[in-house]
Structure 1
Amino acid sequence: MEEISSPNASTKVEDVVENILQLVHTAPIQTSILGITIIFFLCWLIRDNLELKNIKDKYIFITGCDTGFGNVLAKQLDKRGFHVIAACFTENGAEKLQTDCSTKLKTVRLNVTSQDHIQKAVEFVQAEVGDQGLWGLVNNAGRAIPIGPTEWLTVEDFTRVLDVNLVGLINVTLHFLPLVKKAKGRIVNVASVMGRISFAGGGYCVSKCGVESFSDSLRRDMQHFGIKVSIIEPGFFKTETTNLEFIEKNLQQLWERLTPETRDHYGSNYFNNYIKVQRFSMHSLCSTDLEKVTNCMDHALTAKYPRTRYSAGWDAKFFWIPISYTPSFLVDCLLRLLLPTPAYRLRKSKARNIIGV
Structure 2
Amino acid sequence: MVTAESLRTCLLEVILSHPVLSCVLLLVALASIRWLIRDSYTLSGLSQKHVFITGCDSGFGNLLARQLDEKGVHVIAACLTERGAADLTAAASPRLKTLLLDVTDSSSIRRAVEFVSGEVGERGLWGLVNNAGRAIPIGPTEWMQIEDFTKVLDVNLIGVVEVTLQFLPLLKKARGRVVNVASILGRLSATGGGYCLSKWGVEAFSDSLRLDMRHFGVKVSIIEPGFFKTAVTQLDLIETDLRRLWNRLPQEIKDSYGDTYFDEYLKAQDFSMGMLCSSDLSKVTRCMQHALTAQFPRIRYSAGWDAKFFWIPLSYMPSFALDFVISVLLPSPKGEKAAKKAQ
The answer, yes or no, to whether TM exceeds 0.5 is yes
Q: In structure 1, which of residues 4, 29, 41 is the aligned counterpart of residue 32 of structure 2?
A: 41
Secondary structure at the counterpart of residue 223 of structure 2:
strand
Q: Give distance in 2, aligned partners of 1:313 and 1:77.
A: 21
Q: Residue 188 in 1 paired to residue 218 in 2? A: no
Q: Residue 112 in 1 paired to residue 115 in 2? A: no
Secondary structure at the counterpart of residue 260 of structure 2:
helix
Q: Residue 331 in 1 paired to residue 313 in 2? A: no
Q: Residue 80 in 1 paired to residue 71 in 2? A: yes
| Displacement of 1:332 | 1.6
Which residue in 2 is equivalent to 1:315?
A: 306
| Displacement of 1:281 | 1.9
Calculate the aligned-residue CA RMSD, in Å. Answer: 1.3
Post-superposition CA distance 1:64-118 (Å, at most 9, x none): 0000000000000000000000000000000000000000000000000011110
Structure 1 residues 26-35 or 274-283, which shifts more? 26-35
Letter paired with 1:189 = N
Tell me, yes or no, if the aligned pair for 2:226 and 2:304 is still in contact at 8 Å: yes
| Displacement of 1:241 | 0.6
Post-superposition CA distance 1:145-199 (Å, at most 9, x none): 0001000000000000000000011000000000001000000000000011111
Q: Give distance in 2, aligned partners of 1:162 and 1:268.
A: 31
Q: Residue 165 in 1 paired to residue 125 in 2? A: no
Q: In structure 2, which of residues 164, 168, 176 is the aligned counterpart of residue 177 of structure 1?
A: 168
Secondary structure at the counterpart of residue 99 of structure 2:
strand
Q: In structure 1, which of residues 30, 51, 59 is the aligned counterpart of residue 42 of structure 2?
A: 51
Q: In structure 2, which of residues 123, 127, 139 is the aligned counterpart of residue 148 of structure 1?
A: 139
Secondary structure at the counterpart of residue 51 of structure 1:
coil
Q: In structure 1, which of residues 321, 329, 342 is the aligned counterpart of residue 333 of structure 2?
A: 342
| Displacement of 1:307 | 0.2
Post-superposition CA distance 1:26-64 (Å, at most 9, x none): 983222221111100000000111111111110000000
Q: Give distance in 2, aligned partners of 1:181 and 1:25.
A: 52
Letter paired with 1:222 = M
| Displacement of 1:312 | 0.1
Report percent identity of matched pairs: 61
Structure 1 residues 331-340 or 88-97, which shifts more? 331-340
Which residue in 1 is equivalent to 2:196?
A: 205
Tell me, yes or no, if the aligned pair for 2:272 and 2:329 is still in contact at 8 Å: no
| Displacement of 1:351 | 3.2
Tell me, yes or no, if the aligned pair for 1:236 and 1:287 is still in contact at 8 Å: yes
Tell me, yes or no, if the aligned pair for 1:233 and 1:312 is still in contact at 8 Å: yes
| Displacement of 1:264 | 0.3
Q: Residue 248 in 1 paired to residue 239 in 2? A: yes
Which residue in 2 is equivalent to 1:132?
A: 123
Which residue in 2 is equivalent to 1:272?
A: 263
Tell me, yes or no, if the aligned pair for 2:16 and 2:22 is still in contact at 8 Å: no
Post-superposition CA distance 1:269-324 (Å, at most 9, x none): 22112111211122110000000000000000000000000000000000000010
Q: TM-score when scaled to structure 1?
A: 0.90
Query: Which runs of 5 or more structure 1 residues have no equivalent in the other structure?
Result: 1-23, 353-357
Secondary structure at the counterpart of residue 52 of structure 1:
coil
Which residue in 2 is equivalent to 1:31?
A: 22
Q: Residue 226 in 1 paired to residue 193 in 2? A: no
Letter paired with 1:263 = K
Q: Give distance in 2, aligned partners of 1:45 and 1:166.
A: 33
